[in-house]
Chain A
Amino acid sequence: WVSNVCVTLTAVPRNYDPALHPFEVPREYTRALNATKLERVFAKPFLSSLDGHRDGVNCMAKHPKSLSTVLSGACDGEVKIWNLTKRQCIHTIQAHEGFVRGMCARFCGTSFFTVGDDKTVKQWKMESPEYGEEEEPIHTILGKTVYTGIDHHWKEAVFATCGHQVDIWDEQRTSPMCSLTWGFDSISSVKFNPIETYLLGSCASDRNIVLYDMRKSTPLKKVILNMRTNTLCWNPMEAFIFTAANEDYNLYTFDMRFLESPVTVHMDHVSAVLDVDYSPTGKEFVSASFDKSVRIFPVDKGHSREVYHTKRMQHVITVKWTSDSKYILCGSDEMNIRLWKANASEKLGVLAPREKAAMNYNQKLKEKFQYHPQIRRIAQHRHLPKSIFCQIKEQRIMREARRRKELNRRKHSKPGSMPFVSERKKHIVAVVK
């Protein structure tokens, strides 16, 4: 093997005397400005669209062992398994009659579970059937009520479904090991904690979020919010943190030990948030909304760092962050699954060491000068469709009006009779022990 570069690169001694390299701040500022501009120039997050479903995509599941495989269930009961590298559908199953309400893969990646409107829980093999074999589920469980969600335990052969109550099933049995109830209402989603695997979180349509302990088979605590929570997702790196996607356009990140008020309120969406999924690094999460956009939030920030939308993308129902933390998948009403880059301007493929060093340097510069107005202006600029843009404006006005009204009310009432309520506490109705 012969290097393409014929010239041998020799170390050139360099004098780092600051007197010889003046104007470091202006020079770095210029570099930062250029880096920021380039970042915006190269921000092309949309990679491809996986089409093939014949109805809206209702749920998705990641393969726990393979990065290139993803599963999706549609509103017509069809389940498709996709290969992301080829961007093709590998396999299609007509799993249910009516909606596929929820799906999850087994931790070993050999099979997956689906629940549907036909009151069944079905377990399927991940591989397509052999030649001459018929497409049949491994197990089918007939239930009494409709199941609306399912999640699998991260280590054991146990899964949980939700509907009228949260049921915990052993894979080998046809009746649940235990049923967890606290009040009667339809529960929309249930999720196992990925770290402390005996913990469960669920959200019901009577506006509450309930935590359960599988060991004691008892619910733990309930927090009631102003509006209904659609889904929740546990942080895969921080055992006690979870984020709830709420109907009131916000997301709430809770610490399960202190449910009285959320740690952070994430607000940017202009319509109900339908789904949320954490990055495997636990530093960010992605949310899908009814307002036809997908947003990426840092865990500790109240506002999103990125918004993805396309003209053709309708209400986004489900969203997943791939397990290599590089891509985002979103399934929407108009039957497509879209693949996005998690970092919009990231260069894909193998990078040369010098390229990598340059990228790191640019990143650092952007971080360093992020408070400078010109750089911030460029870095924060995003294009939004008119509908979202107008809605944001409208909501800003509404919020301002509300604030003003409160201010006036406070001004004209007895001092102390109108206490200040922080934004975080405003949305919590009660915590039930």
Chain B
Amino acid sequence: MPSASATAEKAECRPERLSNRRKLAERTEASVQVSEFNVSCKGAGEKLVLSELLRPIRPKSTLSSVKKELTRVKQKKAVELPLSKEEAKRVVREAAYVRTSKDVGKWQQVVLQNRRAEQLVFPLKQEIATVVPLEQVASAWKARTPLEQEIFGLLHKTQQPITDPLLTPEETASLQAMSLEEARQRRAELQKARVVQSYYEAKARREKKIKSKKYHRVLKKSKRRKALKEFELLHKSDPEAALARLEELEQLRMQERMSLKHQNKGKWARSRAIMAKYDLEARKAMQEQLAKNKELMQKVRVELPEEEPGDVPEEDLTSVTVPTIPAGASGANPWMLGKPSGPAEEPEVQEGLGDVAVPGAAESKEEMEEEEEEVSEEEALLQDFAQKRHARQQRAGGPEGQGADEMEAVSELRGDSPIHAVCAEEPASLGTEQPPQAQEEILLSEQLGRARTMEDGEALASEERVEEQEKPAAARAEERVRQQEEGRAGDRRAKKPPAKKKIISLQAVLAGKCQEVQCPSLPVVVEEEEGGVDQRGVITEAFAGDDVVADFRREKRKAEQAGKPQPVNLVLPGWGEWGGTGLKPSAKKIKRFLLKPPPAPPRKDQHLPHVIVSEQRNIHAAAHQVSELPFPFERHQQFEQSIRTPVGPTWNTQRAFQKLTAPRVVTRAERPLEPQQVPVGDEQLS
């Protein structure tokens, strides 16, 4: 009967406290086990169960219910005594503590992670700052002081809004004037305009760069033809406009005449005049020049002049013989413009300038204008483009299906056609000549510095050219290097040769040092070049006094001597023989008591002639060294490793440097830093 035995056990297990209090029943029989009900059983291990007592000989159903009840009674425990107040509280506390420390323990991982983190950036949770509208802030506020009330009274009088939108009707109207869509449209338009402009600029640049003479010739011809055609058309359609155009052309021509170009007064022309006696070509060129002059001076209807082959050599010659101001360079280096370089040159210069200015006007003028507009006002740009678009649309609608580019070209032509008509050749020649001029630009710019003594300069230039031609290129390069070195040394005299060699840098010219430097006489340079400064010679000369090598040898010998083990002298004079002044210990004794040490191991610098290896510990360095292994390190190799890896930007790339030097804690605080936040889900749990 398992159930019965279980109940009996339970009865035994009951706290003794209870049984102590209850009066124990008296025992009448001697027995090993005593039942609560004073009934003993016979068997040693057997236990008597209540139900067995009730069991009749034959089981009856009526008694089974009583039996059940009895077992139930048996199972019921007596109510335990309540704990004392102290103990109860303690139990509660303990339970609460266990629970709370478990709750808090969930932060363990986060805390460890933060402690180990390479970098902590505070605030840990980045917040997006929200701006509270002014109306909300100000809504709760009321005017109290007399001053405030007065001010508010004034505001009321002038119908200034105090609360919600804080805008006057005018302001709202102005705000509404441009809706979002409109603004977007505008912006898109602007963008498009800018893009178109950039395309156009790129195209113009590209075209400008084309070196082919043939292309330019063809282009020019086509332009001319177009202009003529247009003029004829104009003549037919609108004679008055055509007349006006003519007037304009006339005006331009007059200007040209007044400028006295092609008058055979330039330097080049004069030189040609001298040469004309001997040189057929020169004569031809002069004649052409005269013809042109005549043509220009004629007061006739404008005719487009034929192309001149003579123009090209002219440009060439100017660049060779007149080293002052290059025709094309005037635009490139502005400081060349400012300096007048002698009265004799003036017409030539003007011509040069004119050469540049006139063709430049063709494209650059308009471009510049456009740029200016763009920079200054987008409005204007928009208008401009709107006009163009308008025109294009009209054009597209018309019978002539010309492209936009052509249109632009025409408009250009219309703007500057007289100039084109007068000297249509110049741009072409200029375009072709630009590369050589650009090459010579540096050489020429150097000349400007000493333009004060023109004759000198010219003479020198011619001599130099000859000289330069004679020298091989390699030798020149060598010279350049040496001169640079000398220049660095700061030798005043050494500065002159580079000035003459024309490899002077742009900055040197800017600095204006060349003006101070007078033209050196040629022989000096030659001497220096031929002499060839020997670096080694210079050094030996400079350190003639001290022989470093010998010094070093001596030092090493001394170190070697010092490193040798010294013999120990244990000789005691007068010991075993006579001693006193004037008496020496015997040779035998010395031999016996002078202890020779074993020879030292071979020196490490034995085979290194230029090195002294000292194996002595440097006491002074020891003061700066770490004597014992610091705490977090476990082996000295770790520590050495940590010291050996450099962190500076000298040894690391920028990226690595930034990573290596990242601070452990970064605080970006515009507002108070808050303590660690409980995640939302956790908050609900707890």
Chain A residues at the B interface, C-beta cutoff of 8 Å: 16, 18, 21, 24-25, 27-29, 31, 62-67, 130-132, 154, 194-199, 211, 213, 216, 218-221, 236-241, 256-257, 280-283, 323-326, 357, 360-361, 363-365, 368-369, 371-374, 433
Stretch touching chain A among B307-315, B387-395, B420-428, B622-630: B622-630
A195 to B108, CA, bound (A): 13
Q: Are A280 and B672 closer than 8 Å at their CB atoms?
A: yes
B629 to A, closest residue via Cβ:
A371
A218 to B, closest residue via Cβ:
B96
Q: Are A324 and B672 closer than 8 Å at their CB atoms?
A: yes
A238 to B, closest residue via Cβ:
B111
Q: Are A239 and B97 closer than 8 Å at their CB atoms?
A: no
The interface residues of chain B lying within 8 Å CB-to-CB of A239 are: 104, 107, 111, 676
B622 to A, closest residue via Cβ:
A373
Task: Tell me if B94 counts as interface (CB < 8 A to partner A).
Answer: yes
B 628-665 contacts with A by CB, 8 A: 630, 639, 642-644, 646-653, 657-658, 660-663, 665
Q: Are A326 and B667 closer than 8 Å at their CB atoms?
A: yes
Task: Tell me if B686 counts as interface (CB < 8 A to partner A).
Answer: yes
Q: Are B107 and A219 closer than 8 Å at their CB atoms?
A: no
Q: Are A361 and B626 closer than 8 Å at their CB atoms?
A: no
A283 to B120, CA, bound (A): 11
Partner of B97, one of A18, A220, A236, A240: A220
Q: Are A364 and B661 closer than 8 Å at their CB atoms?
A: yes
Most buried by B among A16, A240, A433: A240
A295 to B624, CA, bound (A): 29
State how many angstroms separate the Cβ of B507 from the closest Cβ of chain A: 13
State how many angstroms separate the Cβ of A325 from the closest Cβ of chain B: 5
State how many angstroms separate the Cβ of B222 from the closest Cβ of chain A: 43
Q: Are B94 and A371 closer than 8 Å at their CB atoms?
A: no
A/B interface sample: 12 pairs, CB < 8 A: A67-B672, A195-B678, A196-B104, A197-B678, A218-B96, A219-B93, A220-B97, A238-B676, A240-B101, A257-B104, A281-B122, A368-B647
The interface residues of chain A lying within 8 Å CB-to-CB of B658 are: 357
The interface residues of chain A lying within 8 Å CB-to-CB of B623 are: 373-374
Q: Are A199 and B100 closer than 8 Å at their CB atoms?
A: yes
A173 to B627, CA, bound (A): 66
The interface residues of chain A lying within 8 Å CB-to-CB of B120 are: 281
Type the 1/0 row for B83-123, where 1 means its CB is closer than 8 Å to any CB of A.
00000011011101100110111011001001000001010
A17 to B, closest residue via Cβ:
B651
Partner of B643, one of A67, A219, A368: A368
Q: Are B122 and A325 closer than 8 Å at their CB atoms?
A: yes
The interface residues of chain A lying within 8 Å CB-to-CB of B96 are: 213, 216, 218, 220
B122 to A, closest residue via Cβ:
A281
Partner of B145, one of A131, A197, A364: A131
**What 5 A-B pairs are tightest by C-beta distance, nearest first?**
A323-B672, A324-B669, A236-B675, A194-B675, A280-B673
Q: Are A218 and B92 closer than 8 Å at their CB atoms?
A: yes
Task: Tell me if B60 counts as interface (CB < 8 A to partner A).
Answer: no
Chain B residues at the A interface, C-beta cutoff of 8 Å: 89-90, 92-94, 96-97, 100-101, 103-105, 107-108, 111, 114, 120, 122, 144-145, 623-627, 630, 639, 642-644, 646-653, 657-658, 660-663, 665, 667, 669, 671-678, 686
Partner of A433, one of B93, B103, B661: B93
B678 to A, closest residue via Cβ:
A195
The interface residues of chain B lying within 8 Å CB-to-CB of A18 are: 651
**Given contacts A65-B672, A281-B665, are A221 and B93 in contact (CB under 8 A)?**
yes
A238 to B642, CA, bound (A): 30
Q: Are B100 and A195 closer than 8 Å at their CB atoms?
A: no
A257 to B650, CA, bound (A): 49
Given A237-B676, A240-B101, list of 19 further CB < 8 A pairs? A24-B646, A27-B650, A66-B672, A67-B671, A130-B144, A131-B144, A196-B107, A197-B678, A199-B104, A238-B676, A281-B120, A325-B673, A326-B667, A361-B647, A361-B648, A361-B657, A371-B639, A372-B625, A433-B90
B105 to A, closest residue via Cβ:
A257
State how many angstroms separate the Cβ of B581 from the closest Cβ of chain A: 54
The interface residues of chain B lying within 8 Å CB-to-CB of A216 are: 92, 96
Partner of B653, one of A16, A219, A241: A16
Partner of A24, one of B97, B651, B660: B651
Partner of A238, one of B107, B630, B650: B107
State how many angstroms separate the Cβ of A237 from the closest Cβ of chain B: 5
A241 to B674, CA, bound (A): 16
The interface residues of chain B lying within 8 Å CB-to-CB of A29 are: 624
State how many angstroms separate the Cβ of A125 from the closest Cβ of chain B: 13
A373 to B627, CA, bound (A): 8
**Given contacts A280-B672, A373-B626, are A365 and B93 in contact (CB under 8 A)?**
no
Q: Are B100 and A323 closer than 8 Å at their CB atoms?
A: no
Q: Are B626 and A372 closer than 8 Å at their CB atoms?
A: yes
State how many angstroms separate the Cβ of A358 from the closest Cβ of chain B: 9
A424 to B104, CA, bound (A): 23
Q: Are A240 and B669 closer than 8 Å at their CB atoms?
A: no
Partner of B667, one of A197, A219, A257, A324: A324
State how many angstroms separate the Cβ of B680 from the closest Cβ of chain A: 13
Q: Are A360 and B662 closer than 8 Å at their CB atoms?
A: yes
Q: Are A236 and B627 closer than 8 Å at their CB atoms?
A: no
Q: Are B675 and A196 closer than 8 Å at their CB atoms?
A: no
A218 to B650, CA, bound (A): 62
A62 to B674, CA, bound (A): 12
Partner of A371, one of B92, B145, B630, B660: B630
State how many angstroms separate the Cβ of B643 from the closest Cβ of chain A: 6
State how many angstroms separate the Cβ of B463 from the closest Cβ of chain A: 39
A251 to B96, CA, bound (A): 27
The interface residues of chain B lying within 8 Å CB-to-CB of A257 are: 101, 104-105
